[in-house]
A and B are shown apart, each in its own frame.
Chain A
Amino acid sequence: MFPARIWREFPQRYRREAAICKKCGKRYFPPRLICAECGGRKFETYVLPDEATVVTFTVIRVAAQQYSDMAPYAIGIVKFDDGLQMMGQIVDCDVDKLKIGMKVRLEFRKVQSHDHHGVLSYAHKFVPKWY
Chain B
Amino acid sequence: MVGIVGYGAHIPRHRIKVEEIAKVWGADAPSYKKGLLLREKSVPTPDVDTITLSVEATRNALRRAQINPKDIGAVYVGSESHPYAVKPSGTTVAEAIGAVPDCHCADFEFACKAGSEAMFVCLGLVKSGYVKYALAVGGDTSQGAPGDALEYSASAGAAAFIMGTKDVIAEVLHTHSFMTDTPDFWRREHEFYPQHGGRFTGEPAYFRTVTGAANAIMKKAKMTAKDFDYVVFHQPNGKFPLRVGEMLGFKKEQIEPGWLSPRLGNTYSGASPMGLTATLDIAKPGDLILMVSYGSGAGSDAFVWRVTDRINEVRDLAVHTTKLLDENLIYVDYGTYAKYRHKILKNK
Contact = CB atoms under 8 A, between A and B. Distances in A.
A15 interface: yes
A92 B340 contact: no
A120 B84 contact: yes
Contact of A69 (B52, B59, B95, B339): B339
A127 B156 CA distance: 18
B13 A109 contact: no
B327 interface: yes
Contacts of A111: 47
Contact of A70 (B46, B95, B323, B328): B46
B339 A14 contact: no
Contacts of B55: 108, 122
Interface in A26-54: none
A69 B55 CA distance: 23
Interface string A103-121: 0000111110000000010
B49 interface: yes
A110 B96 contact: no
B13 A92 contact: yes
A14 B48 contact: no
Given A10-B95, A14-B95, A108-B96, A131 B48 contact: no
Given A92-B45, A130-B328, A108 B319 contact: no
B94 to A, nearest CB: 10
Given A108-B96, A122-B52, A131-B323, A70 B83 contact: no
Interface residues of B, number: 27
Interface in B27-52: 45-49, 51-52
B252 to A, nearest CB: 29
A110 B46 contact: yes
Contact of A109 (B47, B319, B327, B342): B47
A79 interface: no
A92 B330 contact: yes
A107 B319 CA distance: 14
Contact of A122 (B51, B97, B323): B51
Nearest to B339: A69
B52 A109 contact: yes
Interface string B231-275: 000000000000000000000000000000000000000000000
Contacts of A122: 51-52, 55, 92, 96
B92 A91 contact: no
Contacts of B83: 110, 120
29 contacts: A10-B95, A14-B92, A14-B96, A15-B96, A15-B97, A15-B98, A69-B339, A89-B47, A92-B14, A92-B45, A92-B330, A107-B52, A108-B52, A108-B59, A108-B96, A109-B47, A110-B49, A110-B51, A110-B52, A111-B47, A120-B51, A120-B83, A122-B55, A122-B92, A125-B47, A127-B13, A131-B319, A131-B327, A131-B328
Given A10-B95, A70-B47, A107-B56, 5 more contacts: A15-B96, A92-B45, A110-B49, A110-B52, A120-B84
Interface of B: 13-14, 45-49, 51-52, 55-56, 59, 83-84, 92, 95-98, 319, 323, 327-328, 330, 339-340, 342
Interface of A: 10, 14-15, 69-70, 89, 91-92, 107-111, 120, 122, 125, 127, 130-131
Q: Which 10 residue pairs are nearest across A and B when measured between Cβ atoms? A: A109-B47, A108-B55, A14-B96, A69-B46, A130-B328, A110-B47, A108-B52, A92-B13, A109-B52, A14-B95
